[in-house]
Amino acid sequence: MAVLNKIRQRSVFLIVIIALALFSFVLADLIRNGGAISQKAANTIATINGKEIDRTDFAQKVEAASRNFGGGSNLQTVNYVWNQEVRQIVFDGQFEELGIRAGADEVNQLLEEGLANNPTFQNEAGVFDKAKMQEYVASIKANPVAYQQWIDYKRSLGKGALEQTYLNMIKAGVGATLKEGELAYKMENDVVDIKYVQLPFTSIPDTDVTVSDAEIQSYIDKHPDLYQAEASRNMRYVFFKEEPSKEDEERLTAEVAEQVEALKKAENIEEFINVDQSSALKYDDRFLFKKDLPTSVADTLYNVPVGEVYGPYKDGKYIKISKVIANKQLHDSLKASHILVSWKGLGTAGDTERTKEEAKTLADSLLAVVKTDKAKFETLAKDFSADNSNKDKGGDLGYFAPGRMVPAFNDYIVDNNVGDMGVVETQFGYHIINIEDKKNEQKAVKVGTIAREIEASEKTINDIFTETTKFQIATKDGDFAEKAKESEYNVRPVNKISELAENIAGLGAQRSIVQWAFNEETKVGDVKRFDVTDGYAVVQLTGKASKGLQKVEDASATVKPILIKEKKAEMLKNKISGTSLDEIAKSQSQVVKTASALNMKTPTISGAGTEPKVVGAAFALESGQISEPVVGNNGVYVVEVTKKTPASGLDTYMSYAAQESKTQANAVNTRVFNALKEAADIEDKRANFY
């Protein structure tokens, strides 16, 4: 009792102690796991306009999209889902702000339109039936996956309706006035004739123009929006291919050579090759022409006596020995027509109800008719053949090589003569065959081949791994390029690779390498070995570039030509002297050219190319007036207007205004999404997970 009394007296104190202990336990767990906020951040793949995209939800959508696409590049699927997510979120924000809603009636109408041509939802008259749709929905409710797909489909229709409503609201405010229609008409129909002198940029060699790095940097600074760069990395690597050694090939050749006598004595060739020897390539029971044999040994193998074995020989990635089993004279090009008669149960039957016996009777009857009157073959093929690919061509199969058709069909044509007709049964039905032509008779051989794939031995694989490891270790304390040069390894550079890149030239899809290069802990100069397809890659990170303005060396390829053209324009303008075109042309060893019927819509000058600035300058002149020097796309021009012909005009410009409105409306969908995406606050962390 005394103990209990003491506990009661100190109850408040004990509660505080227990609470502190629990708090410290939870706090320690939070610290150990990076905190609740950090944990949540770690599961967020992106934030778009304040909305977080959960990593798990995103992964499920990627998996579903991948199934729909039938596989393919994982990163392409990720990017597809990403674009869908961005589109949905930026548009949802607009819907919410404007209070746009999709009503049940609107969604139902879209359902009816979307399912109208689906037989599942049609009645006996072939018309969409709402009751059929309700029956379908009731039938799939027990299947969670199918029912969820239906819900998702309805939701997507609703989203689509909202998006269309929003875009239609914008399109309603986009259009062209009659004045704009008149302007479009004039740009197309007002014409001007000119004389001109062109001083082409090519008249000054690029080597005569100097552009400094400072000038390039100044241009970049003046046009920052045009020269933004994403974060990128530079790397270089040495690829160690895991391939068979010469010793592996020689060892396999010796092993295959030991089977020569056994192959020569074998009686059941197919069983010996496929079962007893487990050849990498199965027995092919057909005759081959010389052109069908392995190129490197065709001349020799084609002339090996029947019963003899040739080899071992190398053919691609295989070591082979081949026995010539038989030879015969065959035509390498066959031509035939057929009428296919099918019966119920075959894949070619369609809606026919005839039995196999009835099909045989019909085939024999058709054969009797065409043997009596061959001219009826084409008509009967159209009326009776189950082969829809050629029935309308009279059953004509064209020319084909021996062995292309199924065995029974092929054998009939090979074993009979041109003009013969007969009935042959195959898995497709009964064929009434007409042999029409055979060409190029020559010797063909049947060979039985044992093939073994040349593979790297365990010793070779270990040697390659050891070689790779030695190089990796050597580069930690030495220069990567020098160490590669010492061992005569080929170093391949990979420059300006982006954070979400997937493919590396020469290595294929290698996201793990890209992720390593962008890891904050990876420093310039670091080296790492990666398992890649067919071997290993030893990779060194050689450079990092942050997001922002491009550096001079990166932008130089695009900026330098612009500055060279600007400098050439000034040089050419300073060369111009004289008051008439003839004087200007003579002073610059050029000629005066003419161009007629120029308009603003298609500002192309004959002999000079597309020059909108020059044509625009011409329209600003009066007849007989000479322009100041005009800098165009391909040179500096001086223009004289010889004739201006305004368009006669129209009573109304409604059609032109309507066309302009349509053009602008057609651009709304793309432009609106791009504008919303550009204005969105997006924090993209995909590269951390994929």
CB atoms near residue 383 (< 10 Å): 11
| Cα 615 to Cα 593: distance, rounded to the nearest angstrom | 14
- pLDDT at position 149 is 84
Round to whole Å and give the CA distance between 381 and 389.
11
Residue 576: predicted pLDDT: 93
List strands edge to edge, sheet with 191-200: 593-598, 191-200, 635-645, 630-631
Q: Over the stretch 301-340, which tens digit does the pLDDT of each residue have?
A: 999 999 999 999 999 999 999 999 999 999 999 999 999 9
The overall average pLDDT reported for the chain is 89
The yes-or-no verdict on residue 2 having pLDDT over 50 is no
pLDDT at residue number 4? 35
Under 8 Å between Cβ of 323 and 309: yes
Residue 16 pLDDT exceeds 60: no
- Alpha-carbon 469 to chain mean position: 36
Most confident of 93-102, 150-159, 546-555, 556-565: 556-565
Reported as a single tens digit per residue, the pLDDT across 663-672 is 999 899 899 9
Q: What is the pLDDT of residues 502-511, one digit of tens each?
A: 899 999 999 9
Tally of CA atoms within 13 A in the half-sphere of 207 that contains its CB = 0
Residue with tokens 């934030």: 47
Average pLDDT of the residues in 384-395: 93
231-243+458-546: CATH architecture = Roll (3.10)
| Residue range 253-308, pLDDT digits in tens | 999 999 999 999 999 999 999 999 999 999 998 899 999 999 999 999 999 999 99
Average pLDDT over residues 523-552: 94
pLDDT at 39: 53
Cis before 312? omega within 30: yes
Distance (Å, whole) CA 70 – CA 584:
66
Q: Say yes or no to pLDDT of 25 above 60.
A: no
Residue-level pLDDT at 30:
39
Gyration radius from the chain CA atoms? 39
Q: Residue 625 contacts by C-beta under 8 Å, 6 or more apart in sequence?
A: 640, 641
CA nearest to 315, candidates 404, 249, 258:
249
Q: What percent of the chain has pLDDT over 90?
A: 71
Query: What is the per-residue pLDDT for 148?
Result: 85
CATH number of this structure's domain 244-455: 3.10.50.40
User: Residue 197: helix, strand or coil by DSSP?
Assistant: strand
Residue 37 has pLDDT above 50, yes or no: no
Residue 249 has pLDDT above 90, yes or no: yes
**Closest listed residue to residue 518, CA positions, set 312, 321, 322, 230:** 230
User: Alpha-carbon distance 227 to 56, whole Å?
Assistant: 36
Whether the Cβ atoms of residue 690 and residue 74 lie closer than 8 Å to each other: yes
The Cα–Cα gap between 572 and 560 comes to 18
**The pLDDT value given to residue 71:** 67
Q: What is the mean pLDDT of residues 361-382?
A: 95
Question: According to the model, what pLDDT value does residue 605 have?
Answer: 95
Per-residue pLDDT tens over the stretch 111-131: 888 888 888 888 877 888 888
Is the per-residue pLDDT at 11 higher than 50? Answer: no
234-243 as b/e: b if 16+ CB within 10 A:
bbbbbbbebe
Tell me the C-alpha distance between 511 and 532, whole Å: 11
Q: What is the mean pLDDT of residues 580-585?
A: 94
What does the pLDDT read at residue 144? 87
More confident residue, 161 or 341: 341
Residue range 389-414: mean pLDDT, rounded: 93
pLDDT at 243 over 70: yes
pLDDT of residue 355: 95
Kindly compute the dihedral angle of the four CA atoms of residues 655, 657, 658, 663, in this order, to the nearest 10 degrees: 130
Considering the segment(s) 191-201+556-643 as one domain, its CATH architecture is Roll (3.10)
- Provide DSSP, 81-118: HHHHHHHHHHHHHHHHHHT----HHHHHHHHHHHHTT-
Mean pLDDT of 37-46: 69
The predicted-structure confidence for 625-639, as pLDDT tens digits, reads as follows 999 999 999 999 999
CA–CA distance, 166 with 654 (Å, rounded to integer): 26
Given a cut of 70, whether residue 384 has pLDDT beyond it is yes
Q: What angle do CA 322, 328, 332 make, to 5 degrees?
A: 95
CB-based contact 640:227 (threshold 8 Å): no
* CA angle, residues 616, 619, 621, in degrees to nearest 5: 115
pLDDT at 382: 94
For residue 194, pLDDT over 80 is answered with yes
CA–CA gap between residue 432 and residue 447 (Å, rounded): 32
